[in-house]
Amino acid sequence: MHIETHGQGPDLVLIHGWALHGGVFAPLVQRLTPRFRLHLVDLPGHGHSRDPDENLDLPAVVSAIAARVPPAIWLGWSLGGLFALRAAATLPTVRGLAMVAATPRFVRGPDWPHAVEASVFARFGEELGRDYAGTLDRFIALDTLGSEHGRAELKTLRALLHARGEPDPAALRAGLALLDGSDLRRSLPGLRVPSLWLAGGRDRLVDPKGMAAAAARAPEARFVELAGAGHAPFLGHVDAVAAELAAFADNIGP
């Protein structure tokens, strides 16, 4: 698995969302390298992680990342939040958890109303086989839909999408299955580390109300809604995201 490291300071692991790679965090890297040592992960089948023997399996990937990084705060964006939350719930080396436009359950249920219909991910899975490129483009368009800087953010994501090669279709299907089928809500009350929940106020994929509900179940949790931000707040609202992460790390201490 490809993991690249930048900067000096407290360790921060960053895990990207569906179909992208660690390079998507470039705006955060510019602002955080003066004060953090950043470990940017390319999930299996994404970016530079092209080992055919690696699968997008939640516990296996978390273990593989943990074996390569020191004790750290783990940050997960969107799909990456599932890996970060799993790590925070199971590993003693996780010092803090930052969930960015991410939730323990991405699909709606009778007791979880503030999420998307399961048909959303099923439809993307069906369309992958018919129109691979178009499906990816439609998904990243959802990442920016509603954001006050949506046009610029979409341009950035389109430029980044294939910057490290095309994501593997099998990994994409596995990622959609994780988004559709994962439910990590039971792990929230037992979290042993502080957590930060950063939501985009205009996010069309992860409802801020769902993130607030998740944060309310975790001890030592702070929920922040960034007004005007969409599903990728570290693009159009990078200064606000960087400031919240810095304050979060300062409260955790050395």
- Give me the half-sphere count of Cα atoms (radius 13 Å) on the Cβ side of residue 140: 24
Question: Is 231 a catalytic site residue?
Answer: yes
Query: Which candidate in 39, 46, 231, 237 is catalytic?
Result: 231
Query: Which candidate in 11, 42, 143, 203 is catalytic?
Result: 203
Round to whole Å and give the CA distance between 85 and 193: 11
Please, which residues bridge with residue 41 across strands?
3, 15
Cβ atoms of 211 and 197 closer than 8 Å: yes
Q: Give residue 99's Cα distance to chain centre.
A: 7
Reference 15, options 109, 91, 112, 87; nearest CA is 87
Question: Is 46 a catalytic site residue?
Answer: no
Which position has the token pair 């490290």? 164
First-last CA distance in the chain: 28
Beta-strand relationship, 37-41 and 3-7:
antiparallel
Query: Which candidate in 78, 147, 182, 195 is catalytic?
Result: 78
> Annotated catalytic sites, by residue?
78, 203, 231
